[in-house]
Amino acid sequence: MAAVRSIAVGTFILSALAIGVAIILFFGGSRLFVHHIRLVAFFEGSVAGLQIGAPVTFRGVRIGLVRQISVRLTSGNAVVHIPVILELDPHKIAWQDGPLIEATAHYRQLVDSGLRAELQLQSLITGEMNVNLDFRPGSPAHIVGGVPELPEIPTVPSDYERLRENLLQLQLRNLTDSAEHALNAIQQLSTHLDKVIDPLTGSVRRTADTATRTLQTVDSAIQRVQRDASSALHGVTALTDDARRQINSRGDDLGRAIARVDDTARKAGTLIDSLNELTAPRSQLRGDLESAARDLAATAGSLRNFSQALERDPSALLTGATQ
């Protein structure tokens, strides 16, 4: 009975192992025997935050992972290099329509074209880093050559490292002194402004009070002008109404006066026409007047001669002998 139980347990364990192996082969068996490509990159700065298993990306596309991180010291000049072994998935990257292999010539061409490795910050909160591959034409290609059996990718400082170096190069003491001087200047300016603003505030208040009183006076004057104007308008209205009534009441008298003036004008015209007819060149009255004028002229001549004779001989009036 014990032997049967042992056989059953062994059969169950073997079945479980077979099922596990089948599951592994089904879901990842095709990747178990894949030959991954290994590269090496030497970083001189700090790799804090970079862990084994961190992703290796190319312009944001994950193409592998970090397989190993170590430290290599160089005696004599105390130079520290940190070789990072990168493991690339050949299914994620290809070379000229063919598989990417560990042929050194291939990577030498990529390095000559500007392929570089750099650290990138994955998260500001956790500080985790990853390795990013990208082309940086014109950047220096420093080859360490510490792992000759693996193709080497030159490294370039990351944006984070450049920012840290720039911060370290800043003269923080000078910046602190400048900031302190600026704060002192701001404080002095604030104190000066307080001293200047207090009198200005009183002056502004007095000016505002004066302006308010002026506005009140102007408002009173405007109200008086409005009342005077209203009274004047009422007087003009009454005068207009009175003139209208006078015109209406005197309308008949004006009509009769106009008729009389018109009749007088017609009579004056008739008189002028009569005078024109009397003084015409060939009118009878004018001829009679001219004859009378000639007779008067002859009579005047006779009287002149008679008066001259009397002057010469006054006795002629008595004798009647006039020449």
Mean of pLDDT values over 278-284: 65
Q: Which residue in this structure is represented by tokens 């208040």? A: 205
Give me the sign of the Cα torsion angle 196, 197, 202, 206: positive
| Per-residue pLDDT tens digits for 24-50 | 655 544 444 456 789 999 988 888 889
pLDDT class for 165, splitting at 50, 70, 90?
Answer: low
Q: What is the DSSP letter of 152?
A: B
DSSP H/E element including 61: strand 61-69
- Rounded Cα distance, 281 and 146, in Å: 152
| Per-residue pLDDT tens digits for 66-115 | 999 998 887 666 678 889 999 988 888 776 666 666 556 777 888 888 99
Give me the sign of the Cα torsion angle 256, 260, 262, 266: positive
| Per-residue pLDDT tens digits for 214-237 | 878 877 878 887 887 777 777 777
pTM of the model: 0.44
Share above pLDDT 90 across residues of the chain, in percent, rounded to a whole number: 12
Q: Which of 76-92 are b and which e, b meaning 16 or more Cβ less than 10 Å from the residue's Cβ?
A: eeeeebbbbbbbbbbee
